[in-house]
Structure formats: structure tokens, C-alpha cells
Chains A and B, each alone.
Chain A
């Protein structure tokens, strides 16, 4: 995977670069999905990608909780009725106390579902080499394009520099 990217010192200019790339992307033959932004911290209020508006995580977690609750209900009543023990006339399936088990398994379901959803939607774990630069850990923001068409390189560089890039680099880094 090859890429051209630039480093920016503040989120405002990174946002400008991103917008510029989105606008001029089609004319350069660059797909919007190829524009990548990489940062070392989340930036609230900036719109680097158009995927962050709504996410299904909350409803999925609720659904996971429901699934957990049903499983807990099944577990409690199944285990209590599958081997019925003589209890001297007392009920074999006790609803109040089963409720506690059901509650715990519901919460467990919600938690595990959230974990799973996070891993799946964030694309983790994924050990393939990805676009990144050590400078991002010093507060720089990275905005770049993966696999750009050869003819668009110069135009890309110009767009990035116009938005206020500190440097423009290639990935993987070319030995000098």
C-alpha cells in the first residue's frame, strides 16, 4: 500500500486539507474512501470523516443486553428444572432470585456486545501495515491519500501544501 500524506500542526488546517481533498478528489481520480486521517488523540467537533455521526453501538449494546437477559432466563430456569431436586414443597424455579442472575447476565451481554462491536467496527485487530507517521505522537495530524493515481501526485501535493501542511511525505518512507 502506497500513500502520499502531509502533517499538520493544528486540527483547523487538517480540516481544511480534508475538505479540499474531498472537493477536488473526484477531479484527480481520488476516491473519498481513500482519504485517510490519522491522529494520536480524538478531536471533538471536527469533521474529518463522515462516518462519525451515528453509530449502531448503543442499540447493539441494548440488543446484546436483551440477548443476555434471555440467556440468563434460560440458564436459570433450565438448570433448575433439568434436575429437579426434592425441595419439600418449595418451588423449584424461584423467580425473585433468578431475577438477580438474569440481571447480571443481561449486563454481561451488553458489555460483551459493546466489546465485540468496537472490535468489529474499528477493524481491530488488524496487523497489516497501515498509514502512519511517528510525528503524530508529537501532536501532528496526518491527512493523506492511499494508492493515489500517478498522475495526481503533483496536484495532491499542491492541495495539501495550500491547506497549510508542514511537510508532505510518501509512505512507505523512501530511503534518501
Chain B
């Protein structure tokens, strides 16, 4: 159905200026979850409450997965931050009946809240379980409503949402660079999670720029794709623990 995609290579017909990608260094991740908190703050993600979270409805666009390896006294803990992989061959895109989930020219998987009617097909199709549904109307108890980010819309009940690589920051960065009549610098645009990561385990940038940090790291020998054998061609790479 779709022409063959080579990872890292873009078809030029759409004149895509950037190819956003993220690299996660699993070795550096300490599991502090500052990225999770920052993401909640930046993207107006509601906290669902302990009862709903126990029911499995917590909405963490980025989550830090925790895996135990080995037995006591040699038990090791491995942290794996998982967010939307912005797959090139995303299984969530063809299945949305209203085009709420589609692929932008920048390599992002966009979720258009206004088009979403809540069939939840995309969430079933996502192998990474990174899509979250608003089962109820989100509520921010006063005065927390003052903390909402005006750059990001607030979603209502029945809408699917997920990590957007902080597309509002990407657009803001692109507009700033355009206004100042210059190219974007590598590392200028930082999603909230990348910005808040103190061990600098998360790196964000443009794969089309051969000199960017993400280009360099994604070619590293430690770089793997999460669930790469499924053929989703994710735009996020994981640097394995050595």
C-alpha cells in the first residue's frame, strides 16, 4: 500500500525542511521522571486521580518504564522512557476514520484533536501503548487552572491524545528563526522532557541535518529502535546500556 521507506531518507516530493527525531540514552536515564512532570506541565495533561489511575487510565505522554533484571543480591533496575515514537510507518495513521492521526511533512505523527471522534482504533493499533484517551472531561482544581499552558489546547472528553514532540515549541522555534532570518541551530528547540532531563538522556533534533546531535547518536553502534522488528520505523532511537 505504501512505497518502501528507508529510515533516514525522505521523499523529496513534499519539500520537507526538517525530520524531527529523538534519541534516548537508556544508560544515562536515572528514572527521576522529571520528564514526565515537565510533559504534564507543558502539555496540559490532566491528572486523573488515584482511583482512575488504579483503573489503568493514567495519562502520561512520556512514561519511564522500569524493568528489574536478575535476582537479589544482583538485581538491576533498567529505566526506559517511552513516548510516542512518531513512526514513519505508523500503524495508528491508516486506521483513523477521520484523519485525526496523520503524518506531517516534518516526520511527526500529528493528532488533530478537533477531528477525533474517539473510536480508539489508533490506541489499539499502537504497539507502544503511547496513546491516551480522555475518558472523562479533565478537571483542574483551582488554582491549578492558572498553570495551564496557553500554547497548547485543552482536550475534552472523548478525544485521543499523545506526545507531539512538543510541536508548539517546534513551531515557536521555527517562527523565531524565520523572523530572525536565520537557520535553526541544533539544540535550539527542546521539548519539555528534553529540557528537563538533568542527565541529558533525551536528545532532540533534526535528522536531516547531518551535523546534529541526533544524527550523530542515531548512527551509534548502541542505537536500536524500540520494537523495530514490527516495521513501524520509529523516529526515536534508543541507545542501549553498555
A residues bordering B, Cβ < 8 Å? 85-91, 94, 96-97
Contact = CB atoms under 8 A, between A and B. Distances in A.
Contact of B2 (A85, A86, A90): A90
Contact of B107 (A88, A91, A97): A88
Contacts of A89: 3, 5, 10-11, 13-14, 103
Nearest to B13: A89
Interface string B100-112: 0011110100000
A86 B1 contact: no
- Chain A contact residues: helix, strand, loop or mixed: loop
A87 B99 CA distance: 10
Contacts of A96: 1
B173 to A, nearest CB: 20
A35 B2 CA distance: 65
Contacts of A91: 1-3
Given A90-B1, A96-B1, A97-B94, 15 more contacts: A86-B103, A86-B104, A88-B14, A88-B88, A88-B103, A88-B105, A89-B3, A89-B10, A89-B11, A89-B13, A89-B103, A90-B103, A91-B1, A91-B2, A91-B3
10 contacts: A85-B102, A86-B102, A86-B105, A87-B93, A87-B103, A88-B103, A89-B3, A90-B3, A90-B103, A91-B1
Nearest to B105: A86
